[in-house]
Amino acid sequence: MTTNIETAAKTLTHFIGGEMKEGQSERFAKVYNPSTGEVTALCPLASEAEVNEAVEIANKAFPAWKKTSVAKRAEVIFNFRNLLLQEINQLANMIGLESGKTVSDAKGEILRGIESVDFALNAPHLLKGEYSVNVGGKINSYSIKQPLGVVAAISPFNFPVMVPLAMTSMAVAVGNAVILKPSERVPNSALFISDLWKKAGLPDGIWTIINGDKEAVDALLHHPKVYAISFVGSTRVAEYVYHEGTRHNKRVAAFGGGKNHMVIMPDADIDQAVTSFLGAAYGSASQRCMAISVAMPVGQKTAEAFVEKLKTRVEQLKVGAYNDEEADFGAVITQESKDAVIRSINESLSEGAQLCVDGRNPEISETDKGFYLGPTLLDGVTPEMKIYRDEVFGPARIVVRVDSLDEAIQLINDHEYGNGVTIFTDNGAAARKFTEEIEVGMVGVNVPIPIPVGYHNFGGWKGSKFGDGHMFGPDTVRFFTKSKTISERWNDSKQVESKTEFSFPSNQ
Whether 289 is catalytic is yes
Query: Strand 396-399 vs strand 376-379: parallel, antiparallel, or unpaired?
Result: parallel
Contact 297, 303 (CB under 8 A): yes
How far is the C-alpha of 190 from the C-alpha of 411, rounded, in Å?
Answer: 39
Who's near 406: CB < 8 A, 6+ residues apart?
none
Classify 143 in phi/psi space as left (phi over 0), alpha (psi -120 to 50) or beta: beta
307: left (phi over 0), alpha (psi -120 to 50) or beta: alpha
Pair 127, 147: CB distance under 8 Å? no
Nearest to 170 by CA among 481, 476, 483: 476
Instruction: Please give the single-letter amino acid code of residue 150.
Output: V
Best CA proximity match to 60, nearest among 141, 150, 129, 127: 150
Burial of residue 153 (CB within 10 Å: 0-12, 13-18, 19+) is buried
Q: What is the DSSP string of 328-396?
A: SB---S-HHHHHHHHHHHHHHHHTT-EEEE--SS--S-SS--S-----EEEES--TTSHHHHS---SSE
The answer to whether residues 298 and 402 touch, using CB atoms and an 8 Å cutoff, is yes
Helix/strand/coil percent split, the chain, to 5 = 40, 20, 40
Q: Which of 83, 216, 289, 307 is catalytic?
A: 289
Cα atoms in the Cβ-side hemisphere of radius 13 Å centred on 453? 4
| Closest of 421, 422, 417, 420 to residue 466, by C-alpha | 417
Beta strands in 417-476 (DSSP E): 417-418, 420-424, 442-445, 461-462, 465-466
Kindly tell me the sign of the dihedral angle through the C-alpha atoms of 344, 347, 349, 352: negative
Local structure of residue 298 (DSSP, 8 states): B
Cα→Cα distances 24→5, 48, 458, Å = 16, 11, 37
| Strand-pair partners of 177 | 150
CA distance 322 to 220: 33
349: buried, middle or exposed (CB in 10 Å: 19+, 13-18, 0-12)?
Answer: middle
Residues involved in catalysis: 289
